[in-house]
Structure 1
């Protein structure tokens, strides 16, 4: 396999297991709950505004999303939303935190094939408790030599992670569904960035693909990753 590559980082949400679909379903539920209280409002758009505004305060994850839903409900209803609706919104967030993990196709077999040949590192952002819960339920934890749950992903993040758990970013690869979080900053740090598109990607994670970058690659699913690595020799 690629002789200079020693470390492979994997994103978690929507790379190893489903995630965004639960946010979308809860967003639709919020719209339904507020239909009688804000009938002429684009609730999804207002929720996105709140999420964008609150990222610096709440970070990524379900808890911040739930708080943004509550804030949106209060704003679009002019403060008239009933307490019962707020309770349902909170309950919807709690349900998301308890939802069973759905592993994506090829995730387990790809990790099993690569483990032992490379240092595998899980690099995920979001709420600490929730990410730990999902990793434990996934049954994939033993395949990783290290786990990094970070508040955000930047080039500095990957420099630190791959220096701590590997031989530096130049000999590392990051695999994930988000161009903005998983691919572009990993390449900026000096590593490989492998994009595995997911059918649902949060709009705040959208950026242009770095097509001109020599260390950028895209694959259709994780099952293609071992062959890609072999082609990099």
Structure 2
């Protein structure tokens, strides 16, 4: 690929680890809840059901997650949480609210090399303040021509990005770990995509990827320099 392309990067669980913090918080919440009959997997199923509803009203991010935990608590305990219990639940999100993050291996070197050959954009979804805090903490923003924080990622999100930057969809690649948010809607907008799975990808982001020649499957971010 000798000509300059546009590479659009997802952020959470693509450039830095994110959902692993939510997994740790959920495990701590489940242990604290100490439900007499439900194990962690059963509590997880309840949380997934709650989150499918709460993301519609509360969006994505830590505050939405903590709200969902409180709903789960009250549903399973069959009562309203006390002030002290609400404080305990909120404390499970401390690491995320601080903006703690760990860059994936080789991200700086990879972005640095790719930036010499291609135009790089960042597209992440979630709460604007929270996502900007993570972008700032990562110190990766200078690698990108522009950064974009959106409430959600649908096909229209990618179409707007194409229009805003006057991109050629056939020469634009979306790079991410989420089939539902990164790969499928980008392909529906006419873009190509690179799927880099993350073992901690949020269950609500998982979807089946059909056989598609427009999707490049890699195992690590660092492999991008071999293809672009």
Place the TM-score, normalised by the shorter chain, in its bin: over 0.9
Deviation per CA, 1:100-141: give whole Å up to 9, x if none: 220001211111011142221100111111110111111111
State how many pairs are aligned: 225
1:18 aligns with 2:38: no
Could you tell me which residue of structure 1 aligns to residue 220 of structure 2? 221
TM-score using structure 2 length: 0.93
Q: Secondary structure, in 3 states, of the residue corresponding to 1:175?
A: strand
Deviation per CA, 1:50-73: give whole Å up to 9, x if none: 111111101111110011111111
Could you tell me which residue of structure 1 aligns to residue 149 of structure 2? 149
1:9 aligns with 2:8: yes
**Alpha carbons of 1:77 and 1:166: their partners in 2 closer, same or farther (altered >3 Å)?**
same
Could you tell me which residue of structure 1 aligns to residue 83 of structure 2? 83
Alpha-carbon separation, structure 2, partners of 1:202 and 1:28: 14
Alpha-carbon separation, structure 1, partners of 2:180 and 2:134: 22
Alpha-carbon separation, structure 2, partners of 1:139 and 1:114: 17
Residues 69-78 or 155-164, more deviating: 155-164
Alpha-carbon offset, residue 91 of structure 1: 1.6
Q: Secondary structure, in 3 states, of the residue corresponding to 1:156?
A: helix
- Long gaps (5+) in structure 1: none
Alpha-carbon separation, structure 1, partners of 2:227 and 2:62: 33
Could you tell me which residue of structure 1 aligns to residue 110 of structure 2? 110
- Long gaps (5+) in structure 2: none
Q: Secondary structure, in 3 states, of the residue corresponding to 1:187?
A: helix
Could you tell me which residue of structure 1 aligns to residue 37 of structure 2? 40
Q: Secondary structure, in 3 states, of the residue corresponding to 1:8?
A: strand
**Alpha carbons of 1:23 and 1:157: their partners in 2 closer, same or farther (altered >3 Å)?**
same
Whether the 8 Å contact between 2:17 and 2:104 is mirrored in structure 1 is: yes
Whether the 8 Å contact between 2:9 and 2:176 is mirrored in structure 1 is: yes
Alpha-carbon offset, residue 188 of structure 1: 1.2
Deviation per CA, 1:134-193: give whole Å up to 9, x if none: 111111110111111111112211121133125232221000011111111111111111
Instruction: Provide the alpha-carbon RMSD of the alignment.
Output: 1.5
* Misfit runs of 4+, over 6 Å: none
Could you tell me which residue of structure 1 aligns to residue 201 of structure 2? 201
Whether the 8 Å contact between 2:70 and 2:81 is mirrored in structure 1 is: no
Deviation per CA, 1:36-84: give whole Å up to 9, x if none: xx32233222111111111110111111001111111111101154432
Alpha-carbon separation, structure 2, partners of 1:16 and 1:119: 16
TM-score using structure 1 length: 0.91
Alpha-carbon separation, structure 2, partners of 1:116 and 1:136: 22
Could you tell me which residue of structure 2 aligns to residue 189 of structure 1? 189
